[in-house]
Amino acid sequence: MKIENSGMPEESYWNSLFDIAGIIEWLALPKAAAKIVEIGCGYGTFTVPLAQQSSGEIYTFDIEPSMIEVAQTNAGRAGLSNITFEFRDVLEQGTGLESNSADRVLLFNILHLAEKRIFLQEASRILKVGGRLAIIHWRKDIPTPRGPTVNTRPEKIQILSASDGLDLDYQGNSKILEPYHWGMQLVKKDNGRQ
């Protein structure tokens, strides 16, 4: 099921709404080759620069074939071969990736749905212990030129409540990502079962 209000405006306009380099810096990617997963790649706004900065593998999914096509073209233009693109409904089918295998999972501009826990659970499943889930979304405290209806935009407290009982630990990493976004990171904790 495609998440409501997850359609995209024109590509260069969308990209102009973020400090992309600042957001990637906030992710603090591991120096060693890492497995990074992005759910809902859109145009590859973050996928492509991430792949440029990572010596590891990026796995990304989108429910829209047209988005996969554009993101793949952008990756090709950048000469990248370390991204695996998959057309997939992650809400219905999950990622299909191995449990405890990812260093980073990104849920960027996608968590404005009632069923947040489905994505959070999948992220928790595929992350390695110590791996991090990074979430960004539109701010609610200021007017923004785009973004889903304000009352559907997730807040930290809703994300923490939706991840209750999962192996995801909030350690205070939350930040305003100027101009229009905010982000938080959750760390996969060891439950003794891995």
Ligand X SMILES: C[S@@+](CC[C@H](N)C(=O)[O-])C[C@H]1O[C@@H](n2cnc3c(N)ncnc32)[C@H](O)[C@@H]1O
In the complex, which residues of this chain contact ligand X (CB under 6 A)?
1-3, 6, 8, 40-42, 45-46, 61-64, 67, 89-91, 108-110
Nearer to ligand X, 57 or 64 (CB): 64
Q: Are 93 and 121 in contact (CB under 8 A)?
A: no
Kindly state the tokens that stand for 183.
């982000």
CB of 12 to ligand X, least distance (A): 13
Q: In what order do the strands lie in the sheet with 102-108?
A: 83-87, 57-62, 35-39, 102-108, 127-138, 181-188, 168-177
CB 120 within 8 A of CB 159: yes
Other Cβ atoms closer than 10 A to 72: 18
Closer residue to ligand X, CB minimum distance, 3 or 51? 3
- Is the CB of 46 or the CB of 182 nearer to ligand X? 46
Please tell me the distance from the alpha carbon of residue 61 to that of residue 90, in angstroms, as a whole number: 7
CB-nearer residue toward ligand X: 37 or 166:
37
Residue type at 136? I
Alpha helices for 30-186 (secondary structure H): 47-53, 65-77, 90-93, 116-126, 156-162
**Considering beta carbons, is residue 67 or 168 the nearer one to ligand X?**
67
Shortest distance (Å) from residue 128 CB to ligand X: 22
Instruction: At 52, list the tokens.
Output: 């440029």
- Minimum Å gap between C-beta 66 and ligand X is 9
Cα distance between residue 34 and residue 143, in whole Å? 36
Closest distance of CB 154 from ligand X, Å: 13
CB of 92 to ligand X, least distance (A): 7
Q: Which C-beta is closer to ligand X: that of 88 or that of 189? A: 88
**Minimum separation from the CB atom of position 101 to ligand X (A):** 19
